[in-house]
Amino acid sequence: MKFARILVPVTGTVADNEAIELACQLARQGKSQIHAIYIITPRRDLPLDAEIDSEIEKAEQVLEAIEDVGRKESCRIDGEVLQSRDIGSAIVNEAVEREADLVLMGSAYQLRYGQFDLGDVVPYVLKNSPCRVLLYQSAYSTEE
């Protein structure tokens, strides 16, 4: 299966690097474009377009690290920082806007109240995505 445009939301976890490596492998097969996005969610008491320097700096560091992974994989990755109150809808909207063929999401293994949990974002994207979604879960780790 070949994908022309791959969208990879990133958050700064180990799962991001592994998801980007997988995206690069898929991209080489189909000469795809890879677009990574980092989404900042401003606090509710701030305007949506508020400049949150610490968050912007973190986002830029995460995207630089992702672009480094791409270079090691001989793969070009375009990165972008977005701001949204709802991460799931921001991912879906970006997939629509970029006419993505695939949303490749990395997910760290997480527990909530002792039970495996995907959170709110992954189910929302799986339900509402206009294209295929590939969920990459990193290996379970007891390390924090």
SS (H, E, C) 54-100: HHHHHHHHHHHHHHHHHHHCCCCEEEEEEECCCHHHHHHHHHHHCCC
Residue 143 located in a structural domain: no
Residue 70 located in a structural domain: yes
Strand partners of residue 132:
102
CATH number of the domain residue 121 falls in:
3.40.50.620
Neighbours of 70 (CB within 10 A): 22
Residue 142 located in a structural domain: no
Amino acid letter for position 131: C
Structure tokens, 36: 């990574």
Residue 51 located in a structural domain: yes
Residue 93 located in a structural domain: yes
pTM of the predicted model, to two decimals?
0.89
Residue 66 has pLDDT above 50, yes or no: yes
- Summarised one tens digit per residue, pLDDT across range 1-20 is 789 999 999 999 888 999 99
Report the pLDDT value the prediction gives residue 143, as an integer from 0 to 100: 45
Structure tokens, 96: 């629509």
Query: SS3 string of 112-140?
Result: ECCEECCCCHHHHHHHHCCCEEEEEECCC
Residue 77 has pLDDT above 50, yes or no: yes
Q: 62-66, 100-104, 113-117: which has the minimum mean pLDDT? A: 113-117
Report the pLDDT value the prediction gives residue 140, as an integer from 0 to 100: 61
Residue 53 located in a structural domain: yes
Domain that holds residue 12: 5-137
**What is the domain count for the chain?**
1
Residue 110 located in a structural domain: yes
Residue 98 located in a structural domain: yes
